[in-house]
Amino acid sequence: MSADRAAHFLEHLAARRSSLREEIEDDISNVRGLNLEERGKLLESVCRDAMAILRGRPDFERAIQHQDQRSAESMATWLRLVKQYRAHGRH
């Protein structure tokens, strides 16, 4: 690849990365600055929508019961956090 072509390609990648950043920023701009209660309401709404989509599936029961197997790292993190939580007198 020529130096000019490589430079053009790198410019294209930089512009695309910038435009993706802007797209993401546009997507999340409406949730910036929300308080915890407002974020909770938004999360509830997303969960209701997800459940409505799942209910529309012919394999709803199987889909709702499916769980991805947890990685060893994830399980170790979970157990460490539970131990830490209980160490502070919470059960």
Question: Is pTM beyond 0.95 here?
Answer: no
Q: Give pLDDT tens digits for 47-80.
A: 999 999 999 999 999 999 999 999 999 999 999 9
Report domain extents, the chain: 1-30, 35-91
Pair of tokens at residue 61:
């029961």
Q: Could you tell me the sign of the dihedral formed by the alpha carbons of 81, 82, 83, 88, in that order?
A: positive
pLDDT at 45 over 90: yes
CB atoms under 10 Å from CB of 60, counted, come to 13
- The answer on pLDDT for 1 being more than 70 is no
Confidence class of residue 34 from pLDDT cuts 50, 70 and 90? very high
Nearest one of 78, 46, 47 to 64, comparing CA atoms: 47
Instruction: Say if residues 54 and 64 touch (Cβ distance below 8 Å).
Output: yes
